[in-house]
Homo-oligomer: A and B are copies of this chain.
Amino acid sequence: MATLQSECWILTGYPEGMPDDSTFRLERRPVPAPGDGEVGLETLYISVDPYMRGRMSPVKSYVAPLSPGDVIAGAAVARVAESRHPDFAAGDLVLAPLGWRTAGVLPGGLLQKVALSANRASLALGALGMPGLTAYFGLLDVGQPKPGETVLVSGAAGAVGSLVGQIARLMGCRAVGVAGSDDKVRWLTEELGFHAALNYKAHEDLRAALAPLCPDGVDVYFDNVGGAVSDAALGLINLRARLVICGQIAQYNAKNPPRGPRPFATLLVRRARAEGFIIFDFKERFPEAQQRLSTWVDDGRLRVRETVIEGFANVPKAFLGLFAGENTGKMIVRL
């Protein structure tokens, strides 16, 4: 019997600064037959996410670093090809930490069933998965928005940001987004119901451009980006504002520690709070959040868009596109 092979994207070494095509190498690796308790999987959708950049570095972050030669790690939606675990049967769709590979074998304990049809299953990587949970807990638990407050979100057209603004609106807040193109701004305001949005690339003085969009100041700043957008946001925060530090994509590829205006004096004067979080701290409450997100998506209160890149060969391209703002909503690779 021929051994099953998987195509895999391998980390060639730690990139300095922005990764590029040379950061990744395509390899075929054998897939063993599943042992007891294991499940053989065929990948359908691969998630590419900004946080993965943190793994391509020897520095310990909140994600464990990869080593050169490793398959890039991450979440995927897969179809069960063969199961030797009682909870799974051939044909089941599952959320699986397969990383960037076309097939693999994993212990059943690492898999979660996806109760969606195959053509909607990628939602388990977006609005109903990690990005959705990140928006939900980051905004509601860390940001604690109150009705009538203004929620400003950077990276607003991304997988997380596009949900943050919509959830803010559902909570009775004024939702304001910062994104990187006029098309994205139109999508946010005309389709997603953001009250206002700004293309940061179209303005020199970001603070002056943002101020009229936030006439009552900013109570919650949900930060996916960092850098100059955050500097502008900080200039608009109200007393007791909450800054939810979710991502800092503007500096993930910096070669040297980025410098900027020191923010602590503003936190002091505004008696404000800046707080980093990761979603795994809320693990026990995932079912509650998934239930609500799923209801909102089903009844149309949350609108979701995906940027779908076709073909396993294009996984690195999709990943690199995140840093050029090529996605609107969640970036997904469909195999």
A230 close to B (CB within 8 Å): yes
Stoichiometry, copies per complex: 2
Interface residues in A245-288 (C-beta closer than 8 Å to B): 245-248, 251, 257-278, 281
A226 close to B (CB within 8 Å): yes
Partner of A272, one of B258, B259, B276: B276
Chief secondary structure at chain A's binding surface: mixed
Residues of B within 8 A of A251 (CB): 262, 265
Residues of B within 8 A of A262 (CB): 226-227, 248, 251, 257-260
Residues of B within 8 A of A257 (CB): 261-262
A267–B271 touching, CB < 8 Å: no
A276–B281 touching, CB < 8 Å: no
Question: A263 to chain B: closest CB distance in Å?
Answer: 7
Interface residues in A47-91 (C-beta closer than 8 Å to B): 54, 61-62
A223 close to B (CB within 8 Å): yes
Residues of B within 8 A of A266 (CB): 276
A271-B281, A273-B273 are contacts. A264–B263 as well, Cβ < 8 Å? yes
What CA separation (Å) do A254 and B258 show in the bound complex?
A: 21
What CA separation (Å) do A268 and B246 show in the bound complex?
A: 7
B260–A267 touching, CB < 8 Å: no
Question: A39 to chain B: closest CB distance in Å?
Answer: 32
What CA separation (Å) do A245 and B265 show in the bound complex?
A: 8
Residues of B within 8 A of A54 (CB): 269
What CA separation (Å) do A261 and B262 show in the bound complex?
A: 8
Kindly list the 9 A-B residue pairs having the minimum CB-CB distance in the complex, ordered from nearest: A268-B276, A267-B276, A273-B275, A248-B265, A245-B268, A257-B261, A274-B274, A260-B262, A271-B276
* Sample of 10 A–B contacts (CB below 8 Å): A226-B262, A230-B264, A245-B264, A245-B267, A258-B265, A259-B261, A271-B275, A272-B276, A273-B275, A274-B274
